[in-house]
Each structure stands twice: as C-alpha cells, then as structure tokens.
Homo-oligomer: A and B are copies of this chain.
Amino acid sequence: MASEPAAGRRDAVLESALLTFARHGYRKTSMDEVARAARISRPGLYFLFESKETLFRAAATRALEQDLAAAEQILGDAGKPLRERLAGAFDRWAGRYVGPLSRDVTGVIEQNPELLGAIVETAPARFEALVTDAIAEVTGRAMATRVAQTLISASVGLKHQVETRDAYLGRFTTAVELLVPQKA
C-alpha cells in the first residue's frame, strides 16, 4: 500500500487537536489531552509541533483554509444554480459550526485572536471576496458587494439566533432567495 504522505498524520493530528481545544478552551486544554485524543505520545506531539501555541495556530489555520478552499470549490461548481452554491458555501463556512458542540470551535478561535494573528481577519475577508465574485456573475459589481455583505451579516446574526444547523440552513436559504436574483 502507498505510504501516506508525511503530512498525513500531521493533518489528522491537527483536526483532532482543534476539536480537543474546542472542548475546554485553549488554556484549559493540556498537550497531554491533545496527544491522547490524537493517539500519539506527548513527546511525539512535540516532535510534530514545536509548542502548544504553534499547534493551536496550525490547527485553526488549517480549518480556516480548508473551509475557505471548500467554499471556493462549491462556489465554482458551474453545474449548480448560484443560489444553491451560496447555500452550500455558507453552510460550509458557518452553518456547520452552529450546533451546541460545534459552536465551541468558532468560540475557541474567536476568543484567542492574539494567538492566531492576522488570519482571523483575512479569512473572513477572503470569504467575502469569494461570495462577492460569485454573485457578480448575475449582478453588477457594486450590487454584488452589497448583497454579499448583507448575506454575511444575516449569516452572522443567524449563528447567534438559531440552535441547529438545519434551522440555520433553512433561514439562510430564505435570505438567499430574497437577496439573490435567479439567473434568467
């Protein structure tokens, strides 16, 4: 069988680590806890990441980048109607972090911006740019900017209003229907 690329295990550790950090927050999560959850020894964790802070930054960055890449791919899928693509992209970007468990993932990122640096601001900005570009397929650029900003505001609000991913998706879909013209 093909040997996994060296980054494979690293990647799995990062994914598990973010969930572990999300449970009790950055401070109250020990490297031992992270290591056990990743089925790895604690020194092994230090072999992969030089410090707790580095690990956290890498885990959060990876999640952000992957969601962004997924959103970009969904938005670029020329086969589906724009409205559907927008719903998919927002679901990936925000909706999947709605439930009581998943909310903590967003929380641990938002509550430790000083550890993460610029990405906490650049990633949302890039998401907005992706959404704007997609909407610009069917409207002028100026209108696309306004629609995208309003959709994002509605999405942020919904994350605070609803309890389930389904509720998020349902109400976000109405927002899309109201704001995004159907392709003629």
Residues of A within 8 A of B (CB): 146-147, 149-150, 152-158, 160-161, 171, 174-175, 177-179
Contacts and interface: CB of A to CB of B under 8 A. Distances in A.
This chain: copies in complex? 2
B149 A156 contact: no
A158 B153 contact: yes
B153 A175 contact: yes
28 contacts: A146-B174, A147-B178, A149-B171, A150-B154, A150-B171, A150-B174, A150-B178, A150-B179, A152-B157, A152-B161, A153-B155, A153-B157, A153-B158, A153-B161, A153-B171, A153-B175, A154-B154, A154-B157, A156-B156, A156-B157, A156-B158, A156-B160, A156-B161, A157-B158, A157-B160, A160-B160, A178-B178, A178-B179
Contacts of A161: 152-153, 156
Q: Which of A147, A154, A158, A179 has the most CB of B within 10 A?
A: A154
Contact of A153 (B147, B154, B177): B154
A172 B146 CA distance: 10
Q: Which of A152, A155, A175 has the most CB of B within 10 A?
A: A175
A146 B178 CA distance: 8
A171 B150 CA distance: 8
Nearest to A158: B153
Nearest to A159: B157
A150 B157 CA distance: 9
A156 to B, nearest CB: 3
Contacts of A179: 150, 178-179
Contacts of A147: 178
Query: Which 4 pairs between the two chains have the least Cβ-Cβ distance?
Result: A156-B157, A157-B157, A153-B157, A153-B154
A165 B155 CA distance: 20
